[in-house]
């Protein structure tokens, strides 16, 4: 005989309460392996898709185990620091569109150098490791294809000279300048491709970086852009290993999510990075076409090898 007889109503109430509690408790995100330092590229989630605020982006990055939110304005860096995050790479601070007005063009390079050096100062103060840089468009007036092309040899010399100046500055401050290779084939959207970009040949960009010869000037290897211009991603990573500084991801075609509907096999690419002992950041830079958090969760899971 039970000392405490069961009350049917009490048992039913307790059972319902337990089920309700289970349903209301959000599922914990899986623990990451720690081989890849995941970073969220802010503009993709702030300016497109669900248009997250800085605070939302921080919350979602932390939920998924990301350690950085990059290309975020310096005004938000204290928020990152308060939440145990970093900004893996900063924008160069130039007023004009950076990938158009680059280091290849003597008419605009002084403006880019000044803005980049000021950003390097801010990076050094906030312990932000890198700042982005661009070769620039091939036309003398980047907004006007009829203005004539900058000869490739001249562009090479200009980029090397300007990057050497940034290298000296970065070496003093402990900040790395990462030059991004971009595709010039996709003309469907201003952030999916950059027709006219003179740094669309990965070998050309790497030649520039090797001519500079500084550990503070490296390559931003954007997997999406390299896939469009060259493919052969794993061999390309091997060839660029000596100048590799930062990684970006996105699905191709379309620069969307890293899902089964796109052509890049990201687990193999990430395994290659791990085997190379790459210790930099992997920034997820896709343009959301559906629920942004679900897409970011998928990208992190697929790349967490």
pLDDT digits (tens, 9 = 90+) for 169-226: 999 999 999 999 999 999 999 999 999 999 999 999 999 999 999 999 999 999 999 9
Q: Distance between CA atoms of 19 and 23, rounded to whole angstroms?
A: 6
**Residue 26: is its pLDDT beyond 80?**
no
Domain assignment of residue 147, yes or no? yes
Domain assignment of residue 29, yes or no? no
Tell me if the bond preceding 253 is cis, omega within 30° of 0. Answer: yes
Mean pLDDT over residues 64-93, rounded?
97
**Best CA proximity match to 247, nearest among 221, 275, 274, 285:** 221
pLDDT digits (tens, 9 = 90+) for 153-172: 999 999 999 999 999 999 99
> What contacts 109, CB < 8 A, 6 or more positions away?
102, 103, 158, 162
**Residue 4: is its pLDDT beyond 60?**
no
**Residue 136: is its pLDDT beyond 60?**
yes
Domain assignment of residue 237, yes or no? yes
Output 207 or 20, whichever has higher pLDDT: 207
pLDDT digits (tens, 9 = 90+) for 251-296: 999 999 999 999 999 999 999 999 999 999 999 999 999 999 999 9
pLDDT, residue 28, reads 63
CB 198 within 8 A of CB 137: yes
Domain assignment of residue 21, yes or no? no
Integer CA distances (angstroms), 112 to 28, 45, 84, 246, in order: 44, 26, 31, 20
Q: Give 27's pLDDT tier (boundaries 50, 70, 90).
A: low
If one counts the domains in the chain, the total is: 1
Domain assignment of residue 12, yes or no? no
pLDDT, residue 22, reads 33
Q: Distance between CA atoms of 295 and 45, rounded to whole angstroms?
A: 10
Q: Give 7's pLDDT tier (boundaries 50, 70, 90).
A: very low
Kindly report the number of other CB atoms within 10 A of residue 305's CB atom.
Answer: 16
152-173 vs 109-126: helix axis angle to the nearest 10? 30
Integer CA distances (angstroms), 209 to 74, 162, 246, in order: 27, 11, 14
CB 176 within 8 A of CB 81: no
Q: Where are the beta strands (DSSP E) in 226-280?
A: 244-249
Domain assignment of residue 13, yes or no? no
> Domain range holding 119?
35-303
Mean pLDDT over residues 73-90, rounded?
98
Q: By CB neighbour count within 10 A (0-12 exposed, 13-18 middle, 19+ buried), where does 59 fall? A: middle
Kindly report the CATH number assigned to the domain that includes residue 215.
Answer: 3.20.20.150
Domain assignment of residue 19, yes or no? no
Domain assignment of residue 5, yes or no? no
Kindly report the number of other CB atoms within 10 A of residue 17's CB atom.
Answer: 10
Strands laid side by side in the 281-284 sheet: 68-70, 37-41, 281-284, 244-249, 217-222, 176-180, 130-134, 89-90
């Amino acid at each position: 005989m039970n000392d405490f007889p069961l009350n049917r109503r009490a048992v039913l109430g307790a059972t319902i309460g337990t089920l309700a509690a289970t349903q209301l408790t959000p599922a914990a995100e899986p623990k990451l392996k720690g081989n890849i330092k995941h970073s969220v590229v802010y503009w993709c989630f702030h300016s497109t898709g669900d248009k997250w605020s800085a605070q939302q982006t921080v919350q979602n990055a932390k939920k998924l185990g990301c350690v950085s939110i990059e290309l975020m304005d310096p005004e938000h860096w204290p928020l990152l620091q308060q939440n145990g995050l970093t900004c893996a790479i900063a924008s160069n601070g130039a007023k004009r569109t950076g990938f158009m007005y680059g280091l290849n063009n003597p008419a605009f390079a002084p403006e880019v150098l000044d803005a980049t050096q000021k950003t390097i100062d801010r990076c050094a103060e906030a312990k932000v490791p890198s700042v982005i840089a661009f070769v620039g468009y091939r036309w003398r007036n980047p907004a006007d294809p009829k203005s004539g092309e900058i000869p490739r040899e001249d562009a090479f010399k200009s980029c090397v000279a300007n990057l050497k100046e940034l290298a000296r500055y970065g070496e003093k401050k402990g900040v790395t300048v990462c030059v991004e290779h971009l595709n010039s084939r996709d003309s469907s959207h201003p952030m999916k491709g950059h027709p006219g970009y003179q740094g669309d040949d990965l070998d050309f960009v790497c030649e520039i970086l090797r001519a500079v010869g500084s550990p503070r000037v490296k390559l931003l290897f954007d997997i999406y852009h390299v896939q469009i211009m060259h493919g052969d991603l794993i061999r390309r990573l091997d060839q660029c290993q000596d100048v590799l500084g930062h990684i970006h991801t996105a699905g191709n075609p379309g620069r969307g999510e890293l899902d089964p509907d796109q052509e890049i096999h990201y687990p193999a690419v990430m395994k290659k990075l791990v085997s190379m002992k790459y210790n930099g950041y992997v920034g997820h830079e896709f343009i959301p076409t559906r629920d942004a958090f679900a897409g970011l969760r998928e990208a992190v899971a697929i790349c967490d090898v």
